[in-house]
Every structure is written in C-alpha cells, then in structure tokens.
Chains A and B, each alone.
Chain A
Amino acid sequence: MIAEYNPVLVVLSFVVSVLGSFTALQMAVAIPLARDGDEKRNAILKAGIAMGGGAIWSMHFIAMLAFDMGMPVAYDTFLTILSAMIAMAACSVGLAIAGIGLFTFEKLLPAGVFMGCGVAGMHYMGMAAMIMPMEVSYNLNILIISVVIGVVASCAALWMAFHMRGKWQMFGSSLLMGVAVCGMHYTGMAAAKYQHTDAVQNVGFMGVMQGEYLGLSIFMVMSSLLLLTLAISSHRRKQREQLAI
C-alpha cells in the first residue's frame, strides 16, 4: 500500500498537541495549590481530560486524517471513545502522581510511564478502531521505540512543568509534551504494516464514525481548548494583578 501524509495536517497535528499540552499543563501546575481533596480531584481530572482529549486524542485523529491511505476509512465508535478514555485516565494518574506532594525524581518515572503509556494506549486503541479492508500488523522493535519515546519525552515535559518555573515551565513543557505525543504517534505509524484483505472487521455495538463526524469532534475539542486557554490566561492575569501584598 502506498500512503502519503498531508504536510499541512501533519504540522496542524503538532500544533494541536502543543496547544492541548499547554492547556493541560497550565491546569496541572495548579494541582498542588488545591486546598482540599475535592479541589485536588477536580484539578487532576480537568488536567487529565485536557491532556488526554485535547493533546493526545485530537492530535491522533488529525494525524490520521493527514494519512491518506487511498481508501475510505471509518472508525469504530466504541473503540474510538475508549481510546480517548484510556488517554484521559492514564494522564490523570500521571498528573496526580506528579502533582500531589513533593515533586521528586522518584515520582518522575512512574508519572512519565503513565503519561507515555496513555499516549501509546490511545494510539494503538485508535488504530484498532479503524474499519477498512486491510489488516494492520506492527514491527515490534519500532513499536517499543515508539512507547519509549512517549515515556521519555513525557518525563521531560513533566519535569519541566513541575520542577521549573517561568517561561521554560510554560512553553518548554508544552513543546516537549507535543514532541512526546507526535514522536510516539509517527514512530508508531512507522511500525505499522498494512495488508489488503477482502474482509472488513466487525463493527462494534455503537456503530462507526465517518470522517466528517471525526472532523466535527476534533473541531469541537479544539475550540474548547482554545477557549479554555484564553480563560485560564485571563483568569491568571487578573489574579496576579489583584494579589494583595
């Protein structure tokens, strides 16, 4: 099979992953400031949802739209939703590990493993959701490399977000998380081998999503992310101005 990437959509997928990471990490760095358990849980879930849904899930499906396989591809709705849930849950756990209590190097690896595996889990579940007359198999070595890239880059992003302060914390961590998500995804795509089959996979009980619905979902997630980013920035600026000495 000869497949081609649309370079504009590839760039857009990176921009989306960085924007989603920025929003999620800006929410995540406020986890240590939560005053009680409820506030902490809410902060973790919000950050996890923004990371899993915004940075990882949206990026993956924009990148899949960028990947022209020369045939129509649909997505199993249940597995597509499940892939988003995996990313959100794993990111919530990773951010909770990093954000609760003293941030140490001992916490960095487990937090990064959860985040990296969240990215990888979402990706491979998203791949499994594809409905098309082709069978996908993977080169195990490249697949492992893709997971390692996700974990290592996630560790670096978390270290910057929780350990550092200032502009590097804000922008460096988002860029690194974008690298984690995109690096994992495109390496994972390189691990995939496609073989034509006559049979099409069975569709799950929730049916399939076609490209236009997927595009609409991505548009909604992206709009929410942008609004959220603006709201957070505006709220923090006001807080900063009103802070009494």
Chain B
Amino acid sequence: MEVEVTVYSDRKDGLLRAMGTVVIGCGFTLLRQRMLPTPNGIELWLNLKGEQGRLLELEDQLSSHPLVTGFEANHLPTASAHTPAARPTGALSHTTPGNTQAYRKAGSTPPSPKITSTGNGKRNTVAVPATDIIEAALPSLARSYPRIFPQLLDLRDQIAEDQWGVSLKFIGIRVGAWVYKRDYALGGQLDLKSAMRHIALPAMKTLLPTEAHDYAIHVKNNPFCMPGSRCRNGEFFCGFLQGLLQDSGGSGRVVVREIECRSEGQKECVFEVVD
C-alpha cells in the first residue's frame, strides 16, 4: 500500500536522514519526498510504499521521533502525481478511517498548535497537545493518582476542542510511563501477552474496572465516553497503555488503538494493543 506522511519539525538538519532510517527500518520504501519551510520550522512530505501490517509501527515511530513536533498521515489510495499541494487537506481526526493524526513524544515539548498553508489556499491545522496546561496539571495528577478522572475531566474546560484528543493521549502516555517506572519497572522484560497480564491489567484496574482478553483491554465505564454520542474518547487509555507497555518488553514499539466504543452502541470500550 501507499501512504502519504507529513512530519513537522523545528530542525531541518538530519531530518530527512532520520525519517529515512525509520521508514527503512519499518520495511517501507520512499517513493517521493518534499521539504517545505513553514513559519515554525520544516514540513517534510513523504510518499511511502510498504506493507499495511507495519503501518501502525511506522506511524508510531515517526510520530514519536525526537525530531518530530507534528505528524499526519493519509492512508487513502494516492495517485502517483500527488504532491503536498495536491493531496487531500483539512484537519485530520483520530477517528477518521484511514487517517491518523499524531502527538508529541512523551517528555518533549511541542510547539503551540500551528497552521500550515497548502498550495491550493486551504489551511491545514496540526493539533498538538496543550503542553503548558498539561505540564502544570501533571504534578497534581501524580499526587491524586489513581483518582485522576475528575481532574482530567476538569481540564476539558481549559483545553481547546481540537487539542483535547491529542492532549488526553499525551497525558495518558506521561501518566502510563510514570506508573510503569514507579510500580512495574523492576522485573524481567516481558512479551506483550505477559505484559498485558502482569502490568497493563493491574495498572488499569487501579483506575477502573477492567478485563483483559488476549491483546485487548475491555473497559466498562470509560468516564470520557458518552454513550450514544458516537464520538470516541479513548485517547487517554490509548496513551496510558502505550506509556505503560512501551518499556516493558523487548521491542518498545507498542501501538494501542480503540477498536470498540460505548459511544457507538457497544457494551464496553475495547483497546487493542499491537506490537
């Protein structure tokens, strides 16, 4: 399959080489690339070809790369003549099939949301976490852990709607990584199935009633999810599980996605973990 990826960075030097290394490492081939300056740095557009099965891994590695401050991908079938100016535009959503919009790596500081202009005059918003607000809130979340949901829900009033999803995921990753280091880091490196059972499940259970089935975590009462709203809000748990599991095993390439949601009429929210 072909995929178009755009990464944003504040550094030009070494960006193409670093992204190329990740692309090759994930088994993809670089078909075309174009680098454009933006008011906040650099926009690097890549047209890639590779196996669909490794797409999540590619997206995860690109989006969490230290040089990358923003990331978007388009999995829709692409015509060979596509360039950044001609590709589909518009703000991408986590829930749009075939599209992903990524987040900053935990521990780094992303810039404020930026708007990039495309050749056809449309504007394309790249949402990034509201780190100023989040960084101020994290120590308080650590003190309150595991009773953090009221504080997280209060944050919704302070964070812009388009930043809410990525901010929740960012918080999730930070909290998950912190819980892992605090409670689960001592011990052997585990395969994903064992890590799900001995790390992810007990950590999730401290937050709310949870069950694990193979590589999926089932959450009955996701406090971010409004039944019937048809709006998935599982980003916190995706980030939390990713933060928990990314250092627990050998690969460090854990990707978590919400595959079922109570807001869409399912009994519970289900998060699938892929290595």
Contacts and interface: CB of A to CB of B under 8 A. Distances in A.
B185 A102 contact: no
Contacts of B194: 163
Contact of A165 (B178, B184, B249, B250): B184
Given A163-B198, A245-B174, A102 B190 contact: yes
Contacts of B185: 33
Contacts of B199: 165
Interface in A82-98: 98
Interface string A93-137: 000001101111000000000000000000000000000000000
A45 interface: no
Interface residues of A, number: 23
24 contacts: A29-B187, A32-B187, A98-B188, A101-B189, A103-B187, A103-B188, A103-B190, A104-B191, A161-B188, A162-B187, A162-B188, A163-B187, A163-B194, A163-B198, A165-B183, A165-B186, A165-B202, A169-B186, A169-B187, A243-B178, A243-B181, A244-B178, A245-B142, A245-B175
Contacts of A163: 187-188, 190, 194, 198
Interface in B179-234: 181-191, 194, 198-199, 202
B187 A243 contact: no
B181 A32 contact: no
A234 B194 CA distance: 29
B138 interface: yes
A70 interface: no
Contacts of A102: 188-191, 249-250
A96 to B, nearest CB: 12
Interface string B123-152: 000000000000000110110000000000
A165 B187 contact: yes
Interface in B218-275: 249-250
Contact of A243 (B138, B182, B186): B182
A245 B188 contact: no
A220 interface: no
B176 to A, nearest CB: 10
Given A32-B187, A245-B139, A164 B250 contact: no
A151 B157 CA distance: 59
Interface in A166-184: 166, 169
Contacts of B181: 243
